Structure 1
């Protein structure tokens, strides 16, 4: 009986998992480990194995995951693959598992050395508080980092068909950050095992060790990330992408933001502010990741006009869904805000006051300003995307955000012009007119500019042109 093997997976195994490479990795790894043992002890072997695991699975792995796609684009074979009979799921796990097969082989060799050294040392607890939990965190973080890297590469591919090294570097960086956030150095030993205890997190006011929370959260996020990469691959293969899963993910993120906190007893306000911040962040990320094609937006508007709600939903920008969720989070936050600091978590209020991030006397106005400033920033991104700078709109927008929200604000504050800070920062003051007037004027000017750019991009005289007969 023959077994059908995914051709993409088989091709990647042939390319990356030859017996010469496997033998060389085994010999080199054993030689390095034995040399470290001879000049020191099993403690140093454990440290070295942990460092190798971080380099191999955390840094090299995400790069290989993104390269599995970038090499196809650079070699000119990606279009041929898109026209092949492979399904989106076959291409997804074929590239993800097959492209990283040699990485996992080397990582498992290092993991074997780490477990052997841990056995000789009596299985030290490490930073995770449990030897085996630390290994699980490492593996989950590695899988999530690889999937995220491939997802970022697919997002970049939607914006340009040219091979760019930035795609690989950006994807690798995102994957490595995710790896560190989930693994948390879980396999790394600590200097004083007896006095070390992992910090606690509070999930709906119930205290749990942070490593355990990261393990559960990382496992769930792996499933979400795999689904996301599969959906991105389907979109790349010209399948229609529905927004329902993104809407569910927004709800999932809101639940996490409301339920997980580093302090107990946050109450409604302790849940409202993290949810609002998470929705703002998702809106920015969705706008940056979106393929901001004015023709696509126009097609969605025309579909909505003629009552084709199925196609209109498929063309719906995901950042618009996040924006609606942000408005809902704003309403939740305003309803939870009281007139005083009563009911606020002490640690949260102290942190905000120390950093001067919010004025409690004008917190509601500040949250509304954040929404308005976010609308301005997304409007600027759309204006850049609808013009001649479309190919460089992402990096131009990021530079704009960096300049506006950091050096210019610092210059105004330390140069003695803090009364003009509402021009660039959403911080409400006692004078509500001066707080809201600058951003409303900016939105009005930007709206006119964006409408003009839209007309030029769609070659139409009205926002939603009439259908041709």
Structure 2
């Protein structure tokens, strides 16, 4: 009886799990562990094993996951693989598991050493508040980090046809940040357990251990990340995709932002403001991830005019779906803010607003509207960059623009005594409503005219090029 094995998974196992590499990793790893034990004790060995887990699974793993795709692009075999008979799911888990197989092998060797030391020390709870919970946090954090790194590599591949080291570095960085956010040094031992508390999070006003909440959320996000990689792989294989998955993910994140907080009793305001902030951040991320092709946008508009709803929906960019979510979150936040006085707010939220000197409760509703207008300006500027000759450098240029406008320029204006003109660069409403909204409305009008002209030029030039090619 023969068993069919995913060819992509099998190929990665042949490449990365040779018996020489496995034997060498085992001998070198346990030799180092024994040497550390001889010169120190079990506590130091626990720290060393935990550090090795972080390096192998948190840093090397995401790089290996992104490299499983980037190496094929660099060697010119990616196009051949796309034309093969492999399905998107086979390629997804073949690269995600097979490409990181040696990483997981080395990680489990480190884990064996850590469990052995934990047994000798009586299974100390560590920063997670539980020995086995800490191990689970590291494993689930590594799984999420690898999936995120491969997803970022696929997104970068959609935006450029050339292999660049930035793809690997950016994907590895995103994966490592995710790993730290989920694991939180979960297996790291604590020398003085008597006065240590792992922290508490409130899920719809019910208190839970923060490491336990991270473990549950990390597990759920792993499922989201694997499905996201699968859908990105489908898109790379030229399958038509609809934005339903992104819409569901937005709703999930909104529900999560409304229910999980470091304080209890937030009420409607405590739910509305985090939802608004999370959806706004996802809008910026979706705009960066999108290819922002003017011909694709034009194709969607023509399909809508022609009554081809299926094609029009498939061409809807993710950032546009997210922007609709921002408007819905804005309506929710404005309702919550208008129905509550500052004295009724949770003390933690009140203290937060008081620390932000530029924000006042009296103008918080106007500030939220200003934030949406500033988002429209930023997105319009990104589209203007993407439709011109700077298309290949539009992402970096836009990020530099955001970094300059929202941080040094605004800070300089505040400390230089020009706080009255802060609405030129920051969405902070003041007593003068006209001066609060006039600068951003002028910027939007100017950018709208510029964007319309560049849209016409880009679509006409691309259409003429298509006719010449045909």
Interval of TM-score (by shorter of Structure 1 and Structure 2): over 0.9
- Where 1:337 maps in the other structure, the secondary structure is helix
* 1:66 aligns to 2:66 (yes or no): yes
Q: Which residue of 1 aligns with 2:155?
A: 155
Deviations 1:248-292 (A, max 9, x none): 101000000000000000000000000000110011000010010
Taking the aligned partners of 1:241 and 1:137, their CA distance within structure 2 comes to: 33
Give the direction of change, closer, same or farther, for the CA distance of 1:357–1:178 in structure 2 (3 Å limit).
Answer: farther
1:394-433 matched pairs, under 5 angstroms: 394-433=395-434
Residue correspondence of structure 1 range 168-207 to structure 2 within 5 A = 168-207=168-207
Q: 2 CA distance for matches of 1:30 and 1:431?
A: 69
In structure 2, distance between residues paired with 1:282 and 1:356: 26
Structure 1 Cα separation of the partners of residues 344 and 276 of structure 2: 18
Distance 1:61 1:318 in 2: 28
1:18-417 map, 5 Å? 18-338=18-338, 340-356=341-357, 358-417=359-418
**Cα shift at 1:460:** 8.2
Q: Secondary structure at the match of 2:202?
A: strand
In structure 1, how many angstroms separate the alpha carbons of the residues matched to 2:206 and 2:249? 24
State the match for 1:440 in structure 2: 441
- After TM superposition, the structure 1 stretch with the greater mean CA deviation from structure 2, 351-360 or 99-108, is 351-360
Q: CA deviation at 1:85?
A: 0.4
Structure 1 residues 177-216: Cα deviation after superposition (integer angstroms, max 9, x where no partner)? 0000000100001121121111100000000010000000
Query: Is the partner of 2:193 in helix, strand or coil?
Result: coil
Q: Which moved more, 1:411-420 or 1:56-65?
A: 411-420
1:15 alignment partner, SS class: helix
Give the SS at the match of 1:207: strand
- Residue 265 of structure 1 aligns to a residue whose secondary structure is coil
For the residue of structure 2 that corresponds to 1:127, the secondary structure is: helix
How far does residue 357 in structure 1 lie from its aligned partner after superposition? 5.1
The answer to whether residue 454 in structure 2 is matched with residue 453 in structure 1 is yes
Residue 201 of structure 2 aligns to a residue whose secondary structure is strand
1:20 counterpart SS class: helix
What is the aligned residue count?
461
Q: Is the 8 A contact 2:62 2:149 kept in 1?
A: yes
Cα distance, 1:410 vs. partner? Answer: 1.3
Q: With structure 1 as the length reference, what TM-score do the two structures score?
A: 0.97
1:202 match: secondary structure = strand
Report the counterpart of residue 467 of structure 1 in structure 2.
Answer: none
Runs of 4+ in 1 over 6 A off after TM superposition: none
Q: CA deviation at 1:342?
A: 2.8
CA distance in 2, matches of 1:88, 1:300: 25
| Alpha-carbon displacement from aligned partner over 1:372-430 (angstroms, at most 9, x marks no partner) | 00000000000000000000000000000000001111111112222111001000000
SS in 2 for 1:342: helix
Whole-angstrom distance in 2 between the partners of 1:179 and 1:312: 37
Q: Partner of 1:201: helix, strand, or coil?
A: strand
Task: Tell me the distance in 2 between the aligned counterparts of 1:343 and 1:84.
Answer: 62
- In 1, the alpha carbon distance for the partners of 2:68 and 2:360 equals 49
Q: Is the 2:353–2:361 contact (alpha carbons within 8 Å) kept by the matching residues of 1?
A: no
Output one character per residue of 1:306-350: Cα deviation in whole Å (capped at 9) or x when no partner: 111000000001100100010000000000014621321101210
Does the CA-based 8 Å contact 1:267-1:343 persist in structure 2?
Answer: no
Q: Distance in 2 between matches of 1:248 and 1:342?
A: 35
Q: Tell me how far apart the structure 2 counterparts of residues 353 and 394 of structure 1 sit (CA, whole Å).
A: 34
Q: Structure 1: which 5+ residue stretches go unaligned?
A: 462-469
CA distance 1:82–1:428, shift in 2 (3 Å): same
Contact 1:147 1:226 in 2 (8 A): yes
Deviates more, 1:192-201 or 1:126-135: 192-201
Q: How many angstroms does 1:4 deviate by?
A: 0.7
Q: Return the TM-score normalized by structure 2.
A: 0.97
- The 2-side partners of 1:317 and 1:222 are apart by 24
Whether contact under 8 Å (1:254, 1:278) holds in the other structure is yes
CA contact (8 A) 1:376 1:446 kept: yes
